[in-house]
């Protein structure tokens, strides 16, 4: 949960009518092909404030964490994503930072599986995952 009460969610969907917002970075999901997504809801969970597809070969987004400044960090698979031109080459998963206006301001490929994110009491981002 962000400091202003917004609730962040990461997951995946195969539904072509998943409610992406007009300002989504990627607005479409191919029916039947899983796509990771990142979404933000208002504090009452009544309205989708932001939702974007992340589309990857396995279609999964795993972890999301809210920073003290209200930005969000998300981990996802991006091997087949339209985001590829923005990423360094190679395999692995991606960690991305969305600012409070939901612009992607940082993305980095990590050669490991990343399943969850959290901030410690000093504001350092912690990542849980595994390697082969």
Q: Are 54 and 69 in contact (CB under 8 A)?
A: no
CB atoms within 10 A of CB 119: 14
Q: Are 13 and 30 in contact (CB under 8 A)?
A: no
Q: How many residues does the chain have?
A: 132
Q: What is the DSSP letter of 109?
A: E
d(CA 111, CA 95): 11
What pLDDT, on a 0 to 100 scale, did the predictor assign at position 115? 73
Pairing of strands 93-98, 61-66: unpaired
pLDDT in tens, the chain (132 residues): 899 999 999 988 888 788 889 998 877 777 767 778 899 999 999 999 999 988 655 567 888 999 999 999 998 876 655 555 566 666 667 888 999 999 989 888 776 666 788 888 898 888 887 766
What pLDDT, on a 0 to 100 scale, did the predictor assign at position 76? 82
Q: Are 52 and 24 in contact (CB under 8 A)?
A: yes
């Amino acid at each position: 949960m962000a400091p202003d009460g917004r609730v962040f969610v990461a997951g995946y969907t195969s539904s072509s009518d998943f409610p992406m917002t007009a300002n989504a970075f990627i607005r479409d999901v191919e029916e039947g092909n899983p796509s990771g997504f990142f979404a933000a809801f208002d504090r009452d969970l009544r309205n989708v404030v932001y939702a974007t597809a992340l589309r990857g070969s396995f279609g999964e987004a795993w972890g999301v964490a809210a920073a003290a400044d209200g930005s969000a960090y998300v981990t996802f698979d991006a091997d087949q994503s339209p985001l590829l031109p923005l990423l360094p080459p190679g395999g692995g998963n991606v960690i991305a930072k969305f600012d409070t206006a939901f612009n992607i301001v940082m993305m980095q490929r990590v050669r490991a599986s990343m399943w969850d994110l959290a901030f410690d009491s000093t504001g350092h981002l912690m990542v849980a995952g595994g390697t082969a």
